[in-house]
Amino acid sequence: MLDAGLRLERSALLLLDIQNGFLNPDSALVRAGLVPEISREREELSANLRGVLTAMRRAGRPVFYINTGFRADKADCYFAPAWRRCFAENPHLLVEGSESAAVPAEIAPQEKDFIITKKGHSAFQFTHLDRALGDLNIETCVVAGNILSSVEETLRQG
């Protein structure tokens, strides 16, 4: 849960890659060893995310879903080579509008939430996230995600 000492007035929640293609135990990304298999932890992750989402929404703070999504031909994929090979071998993986690109229903975005589609590991690279956070006068980001590389790259660039 959120630390009681965290001041939420100028905070936003960033949810990175909370999508079926990353979370499902039978995902091609899991089979390729790019994403850890988290079937045992998935319910705990979902419960924790619901708690953080509730706290941020009650505080009236913006929530950003930063999802990975590609064209069907993956020409807009800017991930590292090992990831690109996996995407090329699995033509429907994380294609915008596909089941693997969808956010699980129990933590789905609500009407006022922001949805940003990213094409690489970082939530900032090739997106308008920095501008949106600046326009909203955000100085603290609460970051949650499933993919360590995306979280690391986002934190470095943030």
* pLDDT digit string, tens, across residues 27-70: 999 899 888 887 778 888 899 999 999 999 999 999 999 999 99
> Which residues in 61-104 belong to E strands, given as ranges?
63-68
| Average pLDDT for 74-86 | 93
**H-state helical runs in the chain:** 20-23, 28-31, 42-58, 81-89, 129-135, 148-157
* pLDDT of the residue at 156: 79
Q: To the nearest whole number, what is the mean pLDDT of the chain?
A: 90
Unique residue bearing structure tokens 């969808």? 102
| Average pLDDT for 69-86 | 94
Q: Which residues contact 108 (CB under 8 A, 6 or more apart)?
A: none
As given in the structure block, the two tokens for residue 114 are: 């922001």
Mean pLDDT is lowest, of 53-57, 113-117, 122-126, for 122-126
As given in the structure block, the two tokens for residue 68 are: 């990975």
Residue 3 confidence (pLDDT) above 60: no
Q: How far apart are CA 101 and CA 33, in angstroms?
A: 19
Residue 146 confidence (pLDDT) above 60: yes
How distant, in Å, are the alpha carbons of 103, 137, 139 from that of 46? 11, 28, 26
* pLDDT of the residue at 148: 63
The one-letter amino acid code at 128 reads H
The residue length of the chain stands at 158
How distant, in Å, are the alpha carbons of 6, 7, 42, 113 from that of 59? 12, 10, 26, 13
Strand, helix or coil at 77?
coil
